[in-house]
Every structure is written in C-alpha cells, then in structure tokens.
Structure 1
Amino acid sequence: MIGHSFMGAVHSQAWRTAPRVFDLPFDVDMTVVCGRDPKDVARAADRLGWGDWAADWREVIRRADVDVVDICTPGDSHADIAIAALAAGKHVLCEKPLANTVEEAERMAAAARVAGEAGVRSMVGFNNRRVPALAHAACLIAEGRIGEVRHVRAQYLQDWIVDPEFPLVWRLRKERAGSGALGDLGSHVIDLLQHLTGERLTGVSATQATFITERPLPTESSGLSAQAGDQRGQVTVDDATAFTGRLEGGALVVVEATRFATGRKNALRIEVNGSRGSVAFDFESMNELLLYDADDPETEAGFRRILVTEPGHPYLGAWWPPGHGLGYEHAFVHQVHDFLTAVAEDGSDPRPSFADGLQVQYVMRAVERSAADSSRWTSIG
C-alpha cells in the first residue's frame, strides 16, 4: 500500500478484515506500506498491521513478494505509481478520482488495457458502489422496478473547511488535488449516478465557487488535523460545484458537491425518479433505502423504508443477523472482496475499471470547462 493517512488507514482495515469475513480466493499478506517520512511510515506499519515499511514506492514495486499495489496517495502521484506498477505486473487498486487531469487518466487507462491483455488487473476505488443499500438500489433499477429513468438528483455535502482559518492542506491546492469539491466529492456522485442508472452523462451546464481564497499555511500535519501557521497561501480549487446534466436516455440530472454546507458532515444523497417509481438514499441513514412504487393503490401510496440488513441483500450474507447495521468502513471491505474475486476470475478488469475512472474524468473536465465559460452547455467527449 502506497500512502498511510486517512485513506490508507481505511484501506488497511479493509485488507485486515476482508479475509476474516469473506471466503476470498487468495490469502492476504499485508506485506509492506510506503510513505515519504521513514518515522511516520514505520509507526503506521505497526499501527495498521503491515509487515514491513518503505520510504520509496519504486522499491515497493520492485519487490517480488508484492502482487497487488494499493494506491492511497494524493492525485498528483496516481499516474506515475499506477503505470509503473502495472508495467511490473502488479494488480492495482487506485483511490478516486483516478488522476488529476484527463491526460494522466488517459495514460493510466491505456496502461491498464495493455496490462489487462497479460492478465494484470486494475480498479479505481469508488467505494460507495459497495454500500449494500446502494448496491440493492442498482439491482432494483436494473430490474426495471422504477421504469424509465427521468430524473436524478445527487448531493454530496460536507462542512469541514467552513472555518476561514482552517489551514491550506493539500486538498485545497490544485497542483496536489487536481480540483476541490468537484474531485473530492463530485467524482463520487458522478460515478454513482451513472452506475445506478446504467447510463452515461452526455453534457453538463456547471458553476463553481471558491468562497475563501486565502488560508493559513499548515505547520505540522497535511491531513484534516493540520495546524495553522502564521503565513498564508492561495486556495486554488473550488469550494463548491453544482451542475445540471443529461443522461444518454434523456433523463435530467442535478448535482451538488460542496465542502461549505454548514452542519453537514458527510451527507451523500441520491434520488432516482422513474416512470414507475423512485429510489432514494441518504448516507446518514446508510442501512436504509427508500422505495416508491407507482403501481401501489393511491390509498397506500408513499415511500417505504427498506432496512437493508437481510442476508439476501448484497454482501450481507457474510455479516451480522438482520437489523445489525454496517458502517462507513464496510464498503471498503466489500471493495477488497470484489477486487480479489475479479482478479481470481482472470477474465476482465473489475468494475469500476480505469476506463470507468477515465470517463468520470471526462465529465469533471466538462464541468470545469462549462463553469469557466459562463455555464455554457458542454458536451462530454
């Protein structure tokens, strides 16, 4: 695993847990974790359960005892690490968004195609696909339970940078993160709405805002717990992004991604309206799915709550008795299960593939171009 901060800790827990919950096709040996600072990564290896540590990702990729490389670094290093790992014959799991630019993502997808011909697999980590309630929603939509999709509205709302004195961490710098709320949060809902509906976005009209343009530089940690110093620097990413769009089938899409929704900590919400019904999900009630069936008699019409904890629901046959809900980290455990299962099948790349990640990158580029051009309607190549 390359990187050991927030995402590294979550992925580590997933690698530790998945073999204890699921009957995986491989034994999992958490061989080595990599970070830039030797002292920090040595502590992380001990804390997170890794057998060894390294301070150079190139050293990790050269190791004969490494079969999988899990990339949990900021987006500016995804392309170099992933392409080198694939060329070395390592299967790759890479955090979202796939890269910081379309050009980097195109190189990664091309490398994945070449590696795939030799049986080397790759996947991008849009973990919300693996939330059981959302996986169940995808099944219902695919089965035609809500009919023809007509509307999708999706929000991802956080508030962790509302304070103007919160320091200028890497997620607020375009050269490290690629974009702000758009890439951090918007990429999740773009992937999710296309996954749920089975349709791609064809065009967008977007707007973006940066509410606080200058922040104190961090003095210690570069993570969410960073300390602010006396010097200040420029915020070079969006604080919030909103756009309307169209799906291939003509459905209207409305998306909002912001880190300035005061009071909202991690509110990922999505609703899909169809000709025969609707489904709605809110991450703050992540074990629940709301379903409206337009075929119900009017005297019984209304959204009904499905508690997604039954053994017949996606992933849940391996977990607890009905009614015992799962949490944020479990989607990453499911991600490990799906990734290794796909690698074992040796037929095609697991989904979402690098090609899927590239398509999300095309959408994000169209959003940025539209926002920079007075919200002009922008087609997605």
Structure 2
Amino acid sequence: MKKLNVGLIGAGFMGKAHVVAYSNLPKFFWPAPAVPVLKTICDIEESIASDAKERFGFEQYTTDWKEIVNDPDIDIVSVCTPNDSHAEISIAALRAGKHVLCEKPISNSSVDAKEMAEVAEIAKENGIIAMCAYQYRRVPALVQAKKFIDEGSIGEILNVRSNYLQSWSADPASPLSWRFQKKHAGAGALGDIATHVIDISQYLAGDISEVVSSVKTYIKERPVQEGGVDSLGTIKLDQYAKKEKVDVDDEASFLVNFASGAVGSIEATRNAWGRNNFITVEVHGTKGSILFNYERLNELEVCFSDDPDDRRGFKTIYTGPAHFYGEVTWNIPGMNIGYGELKTIEAYEFIKAIVSGEQSSTSFGEAYKVDKVCDAVMRSSKSRSWEKVE
C-alpha cells in the first residue's frame, strides 16, 4: 500500500491532534487511500520537539521548519503553528511540491490568505493538494444536515443562527499566549473560534455577503506565559506575574446576510463560564428546521413541516454506521465519536484528496472566504454599520 511521509510543524495542542488523526486513519478507514508515516516533527523549542518525537513516534525531530520543507523524503507538511507563520510555511511547502494541511484560520492576514489561495491553485495544476483544517463541517450530523438541505427537505433557507462559546479564557489569571496577541493571532475569538462557525454557516447556506458587528475585549491585560506549549487556560499564573496588554477581541457578535437572501447571526466568545466547547447551528427553512449542538455531536435534530399536526416538532437522529463516515463509529450504532475521530475524518479526506487528485472541499480558497468575512466583521465594528464581504 502507498505510504506518505509526514512532516509536522508545531508540536502543541493542534500538533497532537494531527498526530492522533494520522495514526488512527488506517485503523478506522481500511483499506486506507494511503498510510501516513510520521517522519519528522518540528518545534522551535528543542525540548518540546525532542519530547514529541519520543511521545508520538516520529523518526526524527528538528527545530527548523525549513528542514522539513526542503526534505525530498517528505510528502505532506502539517502546519500547526501560530497563525502568523501559516502563510510563510504553507507557501514554501507548496512551492517545494509538498501537500499541505494547514490549521485554521488560514492566516492572521487576509492579504496573506489570498496569496496562499493563489499559490495553492497553481500547485493544484501539478497535483499538489492544499487543505485548511475546518474539521467541524465534517461532523457526520452536519454532513447529514447538508444532505437534507441539498435535497430540499427543509425548503429554501431563511435563517441560520450559529454560536461558538468557550470558557477557557474567562479567568483573568489565564496566561497571555500568542492567541491574545494580534501580531501572532490576527484576531481573538473571531479568528480562533468564530471562523469555525462562519465556515459551517457558509457550508450549509452559501456565501455570506455582508455583516454588521460588535467586537469586545473584556480583559485588557493578562499574566505572561514564558515559553512552553499553549496551555489554553489549563494553568493559572499568580498576581505577581508579569502582565502584558491584550490587543485582540474576547467576543464577536454579528448579524449576517447571505448571498442567497437568507439572514442569520453568529456569536463567538472564549469568556462564557460553563460553556466548554459549545457550538450550535440552527437552520430554518420554508419546509422545516435543523438544529445541531456539538456537545451532543452524535445527534441531529430535525423538524419537517409536512409532518402531521399532532406529530410536528423536533425529532432526534442518532448518527452511526448508516450515516456519513460510519467507519469511525466502530460500525456499531450508539458507539459514538469524539474530537479524535473527527480529526481522523479530516485526515482521511486529506489523504483521499492527495491520492485521487481531487481537491477537498476545505480548500485554501474556501478558507480565504472565511478570512474575508472576518475582515468585514472588524471593519463593521469600527464603522458601526453594515459592511460588504469583499
């Protein structure tokens, strides 16, 4: 069976997620399109890179990402670094003939995102695949929702309401990492998590054409985390720690108009106590409605207008072997999936695209569309008016 050597850049939280995905791919999807081989892992901190090599089973490690990009034995480059380095690494890798799986958002700058999409389009002509890691659109329940929409089961879409609420940065003692610095992240909750529900909304209902927004920063400064892997709020620093300014948003809320004529709303915050990874998407159409909640990600709620009056209301579909990506449910109804299986689905789609030569749905071009929506949100927060997505 064909094997593809993986070079992974960035050994933190998302690096671990990519490792789990590549390792599990042939365990769930067999025969696999190809088998990923964990060749080289990179992190700028040598102790982290060395530890990750041993922990994850890579053949070697490096502290210089260019060694991976320039290695003729590497087929795939996984980019799991802070947002400000996505463009440089991804563009270099594509030009070196490597397939690229880049974490979201595609970049901290829509200017860079546009260039990435253009370079990826050229690379595609030579059989090189570039994909952005918007994994939530691959939740089997949401793929089923897309099927209902495309079949016309809920009629014409009227309204889409999406939320992504987390709590990990609600505590002011949660340290300042790159995710709270505009030069690295580009944006706060908007770029970190709102991008996911923007992508889901556009996946289900088409392109967003204009927005009006409110963007807020509640915690103006945070204690500084010195080195190490991004803790995502799992550690707290005391009152005597050095503090620095937060210059990105804690929350972004915005109304949207879709090119189709549908309307909607999106809210994202990392400061919602009690909400750990709360993603909800509700779609209303002329013939029915769909509701998804990630905290119950193996379920999809549906309501159809042609149900009898005495039976009309939301009913729950439990996803399993009969639905999309049934392989990751152990082929047994009710066994359910979690985040690791979801990232494995993403890796499967990426590897399948490489082998088939057919571009994945989460192309760099699709990811660039998300960045353009984020730009419009930021412009609207300043102008206090509707802004076109352009």
Alignment map for 1:1-381 (pairs within 5 Å)? 1-22=8-29, 23-197=31-205, 199-224=206-231, 225-226=234-235, 228=237, 230-309=241-320, 311-317=321-327, 319-320=329-330, 321-347=332-358, 349-374=359-384, 376-381=385-390
Deviation digits for residues 3-25 of structure 1 (CA, Å, limit 9, x no counterpart): 11100111100000001111222
Given the superposition, is the C-alpha separation of residues 291 and 112 from structure 1 closer, same or farther in structure 2, using an over 3 Å criterion?
Answer: same
CA contact (8 A) 1:218 1:226 kept: no
TM-score, structure 2 length as denominator? 0.95
CA contact (8 A) 2:329 2:336 kept: no
CA contact (8 A) 1:169 1:226 kept: no
What is the deviation of 1:262? 1.2
CA contact (8 A) 2:13 2:229 kept: no
Alpha-carbon separation, structure 1, partners of 2:57 and 2:296: 30
What is the deviation of 1:50? 1.5
What is the deviation of 1:220? 4.7
Q: Which moved more, 1:107-116 or 1:361-370?
A: 107-116
What is the deviation of 1:295? 0.5
CA contact (8 A) 1:131 1:330 kept: no
Amino acid across the alignment from 2:247: T
CA contact (8 A) 2:173 2:236 kept: no
What is the deviation of 1:290? 0.1
Amino acid across the alignment from 1:143: E
TM-score, structure 1 length as denominator? 0.97
Deviation digits for residues 142-194 of structure 1 (CA, Å, limit 9, x no counterpart): 11111100000000001111111221111111111110000111100000011
CA contact (8 A) 1:221 1:227 kept: no
CA contact (8 A) 2:28 2:327 kept: no
Amino acid across the alignment from 1:207: S
Deviation digits for residues 37-89 of structure 1 (CA, Å, limit 9, x no counterpart): 11211101111222211110000111111001010111000000000000000
Amino acid across the alignment from 1:110: E
Q: Which moved more, 1:115-124 or 1:226-235?
A: 226-235
What is the deviation of 1:317? 3.6
Amino acid across the alignment from 2:389: I
State the SS of the aligned residue for 2:19. Answer: helix
Amino acid across the alignment from 1:298: D
State the SS of the aligned residue for 1:230. Answer: coil
What is the deviation of 1:226? 4.9
Alpha-carbon separation, structure 1, partners of 2:140 and 2:313: 22
What is the deviation of 1:222? 4.7
State the SS of the aligned residue for 1:28. Answer: strand
Deviation digits for residues 224-251 of structure 1 (CA, Å, limit 9, x no counterpart): 2455362111001000000001111111
Q: Which moved more, 1:317-326 or 1:116-125?
A: 317-326
CA contact (8 A) 1:90 1:120 kept: yes
- The number of aligned residues is 377
CA contact (8 A) 2:208 2:259 kept: yes
State the SS of the aligned residue for 2:36. Answer: coil
Alpha-carbon separation, structure 1, partners of 2:328 and 2:76: 24
Unmatched runs of 5 consecutive residues or more in structure 2: 1-7
Deviation digits for residues 103-143 of structure 1 (CA, Å, limit 9, x no counterpart): 11011111101111111110000010111111111111111
CA contact (8 A) 1:269 1:280 kept: yes
Amino acid across the alignment from 1:281: F
Q: Which residue of 1 aligns with 2:3?
A: none
% identical aligned pairs: 39
